[in-house]
């Protein structure tokens, strides 16, 4: 306030600093692939061990999620980008 009374100009700062986007996070794809594959393999094991009789063949139901997780992991590791 004293600077304003004396006529000294005050520096103008932006109210909120602008955020710069750093690009996509390279760890999202392998983490998602690992989570999908491990959870689906665990679900297949539980379904195989806990179902009885003719419904035992239902253990294969989470298999597409396993392949999706493995695909994400393969995409991450076979991607041609240079890493640190």
pLDDT tens string, the chain, 84 residues long: the values are 777 788 878 777 777 777 788 888 888 999 999 999 999 999 999 999 999 888 888 999 999 999 999 999 999 999 866 554
Enter the DSSP assignment of 62. Answer: T
No. of helices (H) and no. of strands (E), the chain: 3, 0
Q: For position 80, what pLDDT does the model report?
A: 61
Residues whose CB is less than 8 angstroms from the CB of residue 47 and which lie 6 or more positions away in sequence, other chains included: 58, 59, 61, 62
User: How far is Cα of residue 79 from the mean position of the Cα atoms in its chain?
Assistant: 17
Q: For position 47, what pLDDT does the model report?
A: 93
> Which tokens go with 44?
């297949």
| Reported pTM | 0.67
d(CA 68, CA 74): 10
């Amino acid at each position: 306030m004293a600077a304003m009374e004396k006529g000294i100009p005050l520096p103008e700062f932006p109210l909120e600093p602008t955020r710069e986007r750093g690009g996509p996070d390279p760890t999202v794809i392998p983490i998602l692939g690992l989570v999908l594959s491990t959870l689906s393999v665990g679900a297949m094991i539980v379904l195989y061990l806990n179902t009885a009789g003719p419904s035992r063949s239902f253990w294969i139901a989470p298999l597409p999620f396993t392949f999706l997780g493995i695909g994400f992991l393969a995409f991450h590791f076979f991607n041609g980008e240079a890493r640190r």
